[in-house]
Amino acid sequence: MPWWPFADERSFWEWAWDPFAELMEQDEDLLLEDVVGFPLLIAAADTGECPKQQICRVVLENLAGRVAWRRRPEELDALRAAAGLAHGKQHPYVREWAVYAQRLLRYCEVAGQVNRAAAQQMAADMFAGPVTQWSRQGTDWLTVAVADGGRLWDCASHYEASHLFINRRTGAWRVRHPTLMTDADRASL
């Protein structure tokens, strides 16, 4: 069941153009995190005068990351379509988001060997979108270490409790809280 809080496009734009409109007192961004909203979120993020431009940017980043983490085929298809739509937009942020979304999609396909630099980029993208990465300046918020006898990259953000484990040979990955990662989880990589 979709979580999208708008009945139609008109109601979305009424909310987007009203600087005082709120969906709820809190967690407004979570209500907007539904793949059905990609086209409207992209359009609002691409419109410089839109009062809700910034929240739409945040939602696009968060939603793209969640879609990649979950790897549900129908959501990945929606992200692929949204990245294609965003690629041709005017605002530099929206075009940058399209490139970011395309990288996330590539990570969902097992691609082969992953060196440290690629693991660091992958972890940065999986833990944070373009605006968040830019605001964190550099990579000191992220650690990438060899784990499991040299077989895996263990990537962690200082802002997250979870770890991203990447198979160095195949590129397969899993996210787990370190205390919840079992030997079977590691073996499945």
pLDDT, averaged across the chain: 87
Residue 26, pLDDT > 80, answer no
Question: In angstroms, rounded to a whole number, what is the distance separating the alpha carbons of residues 37 and 104?
Answer: 18
Q: Looking at residue 48, what DSSP letter applies?
A: T
> Which residue type does 31 have?
L
Q: What is the pLDDT of residue 140?
A: 80
CB distance 34 to 3 below 8 Å: yes
φ, ψ for residue 142, nearest 5 deg: -130, 135
Q: What is the pLDDT of residue 30?
A: 84
Scan for tokens 């929606």, then name that residue. 78
Global pTM reads: 0.85
Torsion sign over Cα 33, 36, 38, 44: negative
Task: Give the residue extent of every domain in the chain.
Answer: 1-109, 112-189
Question: In angstroms, rounded to a whole number, what is the distance separating the alpha carbons of residues 71 and 61?
Answer: 16
Reading the block at residue 86, the tokens are 């965003």
Please count the residues of the chain. Answer: 189
Closest to 123 measured CA to CA, from 136, 137, 139: 139
Q: Which residue has the higher pLDDT, 154 or 161?
A: 154
Q: Residue 149: is it exposed, middle or buried by C-beta count within 10 angstroms (0-12/13-18/19+)?
A: exposed
List the helix and strand counts (H, then E) for the chain: 9, 4
Q: How far is CA 9 from CA 14, 67, 75, 80, in A?
A: 9, 23, 20, 21
Residue 1, pLDDT > 50, answer no
Q: What is the pLDDT of residue 92?
A: 92
Q: Which residue has the higher pLDDT, 4 or 150?
A: 150
Q: Looking at residue 80, what DSSP letter applies?
A: H
> Which residue type does 81 have?
A
